[in-house]
Amino acid sequence: MNKPLILVVEDDSAIRNLITTTLEMHDYRFHTAPAGSAAIVEASSHNPDIVLLDLGLPDMDGVEIIKKIRTWSNMPIIVISARSEDSDKINALDAGADDYLTKPFSVEELLARLRVTLRRLNAMQSKAGTNEQSVFINGDLKIDYAAGCVYMCGEELHVTPIEYKLLCLLAKNIGKVLTHTFITKEIWGSTWENDVASLRVFMAALRKKMEKASSSRQYIQTHIGVGYRMLKLE
């Protein structure tokens, strides 16, 4: 594989330099953008493998950039922001960000997030090339892995990238209880307390959407203090 190309969107030159130095040392290629408008131009002209995105930019809010990129691309976007409120995190993830890193962050943490994201990207690309079962069906739930779409009772269910990943993980392990630690490790590559707290928020949102679209049929069971399980339905 060629060296992965990372787009670094950050207006603070000290942080930008820290990130690009780290990337350079670990065999990544990069482009940089100090503002939102430049970020959109770079993202569309270079099609990076991953975008590292600061939310507080001089010309526009990072969430707007996520929304714009999502109109044409599923490229992974990792938000790096000083905003630590849950609501900020959820806004960015709802807009389509794949992951979130709170400033100040450690270089190791950044590298771990990049590795997990790349692994997932590679797994998706190699799967797209095989004839492996590409549709999952359970009751009225259907996941089209190739298209990355979810359907409930024949209607498309709109889920965020994180919700989609959670759903696929549960589907692949249908019938089994997955622990919080296992899930956060698979989704975020870590088991930080923070991620376990976010997991509860995402699971609650996902379950609500699924139940609303299926006349309250239960697909995901919560095992309090342990984890979650997808139930097998007729």
Q: Provide the binding-site residues for Ca ion, judged by CB under 5 A.
A: 11, 54, 56
Q: Closest separation between CB of residue 88 and Ca ion, Å?
A: 13
Q: Closest separation between CB of residue 36 and Ca ion, Å?
A: 11
Residues ≥6 apart with Cβ < 8 Å to 132:
none
Q: Closest separation between CB of residue 16 and Ca ion, Å?
A: 10
Question: If DSSP codes are grouped into helix, strand and coil, which group holds residue 71?
Answer: coil
- What's the rounded Cα separation, in Å, for the pair 230 and 9? 38
Q: Strand 220-223: give its sheet, edge to edge.
A: 177-179, 227-230, 220-223
Q: Which is nearer to Ca ion, 11 or 64 (CB)?
A: 11
Q: Which is nearer to Ca ion, 103 or 142 (CB)?
A: 103
Structure tokens at 170: 């549960």
Q: Which is nearer to Ca ion, 58 or 154 (CB)?
A: 58
Peptide bond into 76 cis (omega under 30): no
Q: Which is nearer to Ca ion, 49 or 54 (CB)?
A: 54
DSSP structure string for 184-213? HHHHHS---HHHHHHHHHHHHHHHHHHHHH
- What's the rounded Cα separation, in Å, for the pair 178 and 11? 40
* Length of the chain measured in residues: 234
Q: Closest separation between CB of residue 23 and Ca ion, Å?
A: 18
Q: Closest separation between CB of residue 15 and Ca ion, Å?
A: 8
Sign of CA dihedral 108, 110, 111, 116: positive
Q: DSSP code of 11?
A: S
Q: Which is nearer to Ca ion, 35 or 233 (CB)?
A: 35
Q: Are the C-beta atoms of 9 and 31 separated by less than 8 Å?
A: no
Q: Closest separation between CB of residue 41 and Ca ion, Å?
A: 18
**Minimal CB distance residue for Ca ion:** 56
Q: Are the C-beta atoms of 59 and 126 separated by less than 8 Å?
A: no
Q: Which is nearer to Ca ion, 103 or 217 (CB)?
A: 103
Q: Which is nearer to Ca ion, 16 or 68 (CB)?
A: 16
Q: Closest separation between CB of residue 12 and Ca ion, Å?
A: 5
